[in-house]
């Protein structure tokens, strides 16, 4: 970390923030929020929330100690925004796939530079909005025109993300997406996810077999599933619980790379799979969304205490 300042973005007037300031971390610009009640860090690249914690608490998000903060490189940990497609393009429904012109997973939003739109501060909350105009600048990888606007709301109760997509193109937009939340655990083998116990899911590791969940989700090796549920989930770890409450979502991805995949994963220590899991608030697989010209859809998650 280096070079902390109050450098304002062009769209906002200087000196108006009490708790928010610019910093350069690695090679990337970030907003650091140091509020008396909580702290957070958002990178402009990817509108990527890398840290959040109420004061005197450990970080609520997992961030790899090998994460690299470089232009064009996805940050391993925190909450990457997968948009305007989730996962492998080839595994997306044809309507989503037909706009994608690359093999790269998880869309381009997580490595694109977003624009700061607004910072609102109060004694209890900080709200920060960023936008990405996905126009012809992205024509190498995607055919469409859409606006993504994300608003982060931080308080001592937790953090909320609301990602609104508006189709600016004259033809209907089909897209998939996820708020790819990385969470810490002290022991993945003693971690479980509650709230998906009556849901069906696609197991991407069993040739995309369609399965039924019964009871809590446990982890005993690599796990990569798309659940057909947007119901609240509770993540119980040996050191505490978190509750994720979604809006605009009927799919939830649960992922842990396990030892073998971890060994080949970028910016990821070989043994880190023991101490993290991802629970991703999504519009994935059959839950992709379609917007006509001018229509919007909001995908959101509130990460709070149990
Ligand atoms: O390495 P990436 O592109 O950040 O993806 C990480 C994981 O993201 C998850 O959402 C997918 O379900 C996994 O299949 C994937 O491995």
How far away, in angstroms, is 80 Cα from ligand 1 center? Answer: 10
pLDDT value at 5 more than 80:
no
Q: Is 223 left (phi over 0), alpha (psi -120 to 50) or beta?
A: beta
Does a structural domain hold residue 156? yes
95 Cα: distance to centroid of ligand 1 (angstroms)? 21
Mutation pick for ligand 1 pocket among 202, 224, 249, 280 (CB with most ligand atoms within 8 Å): 224
Share of the chain above pLDDT 90, in %: 94
pLDDT of residue 277: 99
Q: Which of 302, 283, 306 is nearest to 52 (CA)?
A: 302
Q: What is the pLDDT at residue 16?
A: 85
Q: Which residues contact 206 (CB under 8 A, 6 or more apart)?
A: none
- The atom of ligand 1 lying closest to the CA of 106 is 3
Please check whether residue 166 lies inside any domain of the structure: yes
Largest CA distance in the chain: 55
Give the span between the Cα atoms of 200 and 194, in whole angstroms: 14
Q: Is the CB of 224 under 6 A from ligand 1?
A: yes
Give the confidence band of 298 by pLDDT, cuts at 50, 70, 90.
very high
pLDDT category of residue 3 using cuts at 50, 70 and 90:
very low
Here the ipTM equals: 0.99
Count structural domains, the chain.
Answer: 1
Residue 131 lies in a domain: yes
Rounded to whole angstroms, how far apart are CA atoms 130 and 145?
17
Reported as a single tens digit per residue, the pLDDT across 235-249 is: 999 999 999 999 999
Q: Any residues with CB less than 8 A from the CB of 57 and at least 6 apart, and which?
A: none
With a 6 A CB cut-off, is 87 part of the ligand 1 pocket? yes
* Model pTM score: 0.96
Pair type for strands 233-237 and 240-247? antiparallel
Q: How far is CA 84 from CA 160, 164, 183, 198, 234, in A?
A: 20, 11, 23, 29, 27
In a domain? residue 67 = yes
Number of H helices, E strands in the chain: 2, 23
Could you report the per-residue pLDDT of 100-131, keeping only the tens digit for each?
Answer: 999 999 999 999 999 999 999 999 999 999 99
**pLDDT exceeds 60 at position 7:** no
- Which residues are catalytically annotated? 180, 280
Query: What CATH code is carried by the domain that includes residue 114?
Result: 2.70.98.10
Domain that holds residue 291: 2-6+18-185+270-305
* Contact (CB, 8 A) for 270 and 263: yes
Closest CA to 229 of 267, 186, 282: 282
Give a yes or no: residue 281 inside a domain.
yes
Is residue 215 included in any domain, yes or no? Answer: no
19: how many CB neighbours lie within 10 A of its CB? 19
Q: Is 225 in the pocket of ligand 1 (CB under 6 A)?
A: no
Residue 65 domain-assigned (yes or no): yes
Dist CA 94 CA 85 (whole Å):
12
Q: Would 225 be classed as within a structural domain?
A: no
Interval 136-190: pLDDT, tens: 999 999 999 999 999 999 999 999 999 999 999 999 999 999 999 999 999 999 9
Strands, DSSP E only, in 171-232? 173-175, 177-184, 192-194, 200-203, 209-212, 217-218, 223-227
When the pLDDT of each residue in the chain is averaged and rounded to a whole number, the result is 95
């Amino acid at each position: 970390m280096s070079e902390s300042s109050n450098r304002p973005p062009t769209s906002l007037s200087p000196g108006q923030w009490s708790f928010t300031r610019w910093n350069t971390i690695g090679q990337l610009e970030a907003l650091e929020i140091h509020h008396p009640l909580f702290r957070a860090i958002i990178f402009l690249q990817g509108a990527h929330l890398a840290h959040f914690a109420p004061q005197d608490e450990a970080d609520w998000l997992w961030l790899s100690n090998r994460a690299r903060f470089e232009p064009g490189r996805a940050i391993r940990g925190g909450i990457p925004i997968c948009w305007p497609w989730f996962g492998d393009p080839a595994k997306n429904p044809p309507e989503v796939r037909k706009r994608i012109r690359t093999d790269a997973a998880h869309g381009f939003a997580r490595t694109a530079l977003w624009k700061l739109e607004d910072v609102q501060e109060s004694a209890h909350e900080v709200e920060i909005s960023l936008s990405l105009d996905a126009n012809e600048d992205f024509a190498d990888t995607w055919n469409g025109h859409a606006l993504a606007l994300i608003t982060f709301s931080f308080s001592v109760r937790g953090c909320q993300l609301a990602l609104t997509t508006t189709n600016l193109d004259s033809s209907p937009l089909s897209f998939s997406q996820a708020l790819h939340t990385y969470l810490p655990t002290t022991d993945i083998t003693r971690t479980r996810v509650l709230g998906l116990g009556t849901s069906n899911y696609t197991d991407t590791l069993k040739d995309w077999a369609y399965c039924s969940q019964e009871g809590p989700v446990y982890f005993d090796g690599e796990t990569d599933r798309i659940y057909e549920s947007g119901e609240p989930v509770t993540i119980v770890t040996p050191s505490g619980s978190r509750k994720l409450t979604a809006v605009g979502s009927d799919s939830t991805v649960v992922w842990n790379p396990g030892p073998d995949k971890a060994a080949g994963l970028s910016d990821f220590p070989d043994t880190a799979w023991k101490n993290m899991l991802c629970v991703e608030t999504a519009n994935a697989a059959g839950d992709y969304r379609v917007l006509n010209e001018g229509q919007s859809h909001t995908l959101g998650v509130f990460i709070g205490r149990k």
